Amino acid sequence: MLEHGGRLRAAARQYGTRGESALADWLDLSTGINPRAYPVPVIDPDCWRRLPEDDDGLDAIAAAYYGSDRLLALPGSQAAIQRLPALFRPVVVACLTPIYEEHPQAWGRAGHKLRRLQQASSAGGLERALARALAAATPVIVLCNPNNPTGGTLPVTALLDAAAQLQGRGGWLVIDEAFGDADPVNCLTALAGGPEAPNLIVLRSLGKFFGLAGARVGFVFAACEKLAPLREAIGPWPLSGPARAVARLALADTPWQARTRAELIAAAARLAALLAPLGEVTSTALFATVAIPQALPLFEHLARQAILTRYFPAHDLLRFGLPGAEAEWQRLASALAGWTA
């Protein structure tokens, strides 16, 4: 089982605090989840007593938000990550790394041969890694856009070109757009499985931009030939009734979405500026990542002050989610000011 961000209790035990009350003293920046989550109102109590129903309007609302009805609602995009590889015969799968590690683990477990293509930290690193995957005639390419954990992005034109090249040789492009909501113009969800990109599969999540990670709601967009067997594999009632109710509200609330995009973009710029003295920074609207040889000492320096970030030891990366309240920003700034390499 891979470890992920958000393991606050483990961090508290390791760095000297105990008990539920001590957890409240921590500033958790380890996950890239919007700290100002969608404000869920009181929901109909019937959703706790009734079995979930697929025809409750969620699919139509999601189709309007994402721009496509070629979708399947899932208990988090993690469900698609784990089950998608089984829908393909064993092939060589290129993963543009660093990447959300659940992707290569799932493809490897399903019997596929992994080819990790390291992206350079310099500008254009992701594009060059993608070009290498295409030049090697790899049948399946898996990537995150924006990248998790580096924050780098690929333009829509490059991704559509990649999908077209793969289609010409019967290949597939799988894109995890979990962090894409703040910049929907650079997302390909609406084209996945359609005439322009029939071999494109896109994963989306309500956990990041909407801040609803606990609801465990995600979607996969693809051609019917992939969605149908995936639906069978997942089984009945993949989403709880309360999760469906909350998802309908959040996806339909366009004023909140517009305000939140503007707020996140401003906050991301502030975070990148705060971290700039540490080293090379790449960022999305929901997190910033620093490439620094002293990533582990800095991680521990912050943890000793009850600030949890995400350390990626294989790549000397430290990822910072967004603080929420102004006091949290000041606390992070103060902790960083006290850091000496």
Q: Residue 162 is part of a domain; what is its CATH number?
A: 3.40.640.10
Query: Are 203 and 262 part of one and the same domain?
Result: no
Cα 186 from chain centroid? 15
- How many CB atoms are located within 10 Å of the residue 170 CB? 9
Mean pLDDT of 16-38: 81
Please give the share of the chain, as a percent, with pLDDT higher than 70. Answer: 95
Query: Are 268 and 248 part of one and the same domain?
Result: no
Classify 136 in phi/psi space as left (phi over 0), alpha (psi -120 to 50) or beta.
alpha
Residue whose pair of structure tokens reads 């992701």 in the numeric block: 126
Q: Using DSSP bridges, classify how beta strands 200-205 and 172-176 pair: parallel, antiparallel or unpaired.
A: parallel
In a domain, 121, yes or no: yes
Total of domains in the chain: 2
pLDDT, tens only, 143-162: 999 999 999 999 999 999 99
> At which of 218, 233, 252 does a domain end?
252
Query: Are 273 and 231 part of one and the same domain?
Result: no
CA-closest candidate to residue 217, choices 184, 256, 249: 249
pLDDT, tens only, 215-242: 999 999 999 999 999 999 999 999 999 9
Compute the mean pLDDT over every residue in the chain, rounded to the nearest whole number: 93
The alpha helices in the chain, defined as continuous H runs, are 8-14, 19-23, 46-49, 58-66, 77-83, 102-109, 125-135, 156-168, 224-234, 241-252, 254-275, 295-303, 326-337
In a domain, 166, yes or no: yes
Q: Reply yes or no: is the peptide bond before residue 155 cis, omega within 30 of 0.
A: no
Assign residue 23 the CATH number of its domain: 3.90.1150.10
In a domain, 132, yes or no: yes
pTM of structure: 0.94
pLDDT, tens only, 286-333: 999 999 999 999 999 999 999 999 999 988 999 999 999 999 999 999
Query: Are 104 and 133 part of one and the same domain?
Result: yes
Domain containing 246: what range?
A: 52-252
Give the list of residues 6+ apart from residue 97 with CB closer than 8 angstroms, or none.
104, 116, 117, 118, 119
Query: Are 99 and 112 part of one and the same domain?
Result: yes
Query: Are 17 and 89 part of one and the same domain?
Result: no
